[in-house]
Amino acid sequence: MGRPAFAASKSAEPVEFTLSDQNARVHVVRYPRGKVSFLVLSDRAGASQIEGWIAPVYARYDQRVEIAGIADLPNILPMFHALFRREFKKRLTYPVMLDWSGDVAKAFGYQKGQAQVFVIGTSGEIALKQSGPAYAAGLADVYRAIDQLQSRR
């Protein structure tokens, strides 16, 4: 019962951005990069789906892949940003980039209400996009895309 993977056009421009995380650390994403990236993008509704993707990818690749998360938060009023940062700090031990404007999510074509994961090559090309909860065939597609990108390096 797998869903088809979406392979982005190779001619698409890389999505480059700068966001801060819950600890106010600035993350600059520019290409080329030294490693293949596994990016997880979600809003609150899709947050429960994140761990099913990240845990197996981290277990399989550990430090050989850059794993990053982005929270899509465009509806949070600026006066509440500090409160949300504190909540993220309390609940998470790893950094999550906070997309207050929603511009980065929009650049990736994020579909609200679900987690979306992207396998991104070192030059910024999106090799694979999956949406929703993790499933066996989807994870196999992620592994295959990462392995293929790593074999080209």
- CA-closest candidate to residue 37, choices 64, 17, 56, 10: 64
8 falls within a domain = no
User: For 48-72, what is the mean pLDDT?
Assistant: 97
* Sequence-ordered list of residues with C-beta below 8 angstroms from that of 115, at least 6 positions apart, any chain: 40, 41, 42, 46, 47, 49, 50, 53, 131, 132, 133
**Position 5 confidence tier, pLDDT thresholds 50, 70, 90:** very low
**Position 143 confidence tier, pLDDT thresholds 50, 70, 90:** very high
What 8-state DSSP symbol labels residue 6?
A: B
Encoded tokens for 137:
């065939």
Per DSSP bridges, beta strands 26-29 and 17-20 are: antiparallel
Instruction: Write out the residue range of the structural domain in which residue 70 sits.
Output: 17-151
92 falls within a domain = yes
Please tell me the least confidently modeled range out of 2-11, 65-74, 86-95: 2-11
**Position 30 confidence tier, pLDDT thresholds 50, 70, 90:** very high
4 falls within a domain = no
28 falls within a domain = yes
pTM over 0.85: yes
What is the domain-level CATH number for residue 113? 3.40.30.10
Count of domains forming the chain: 1
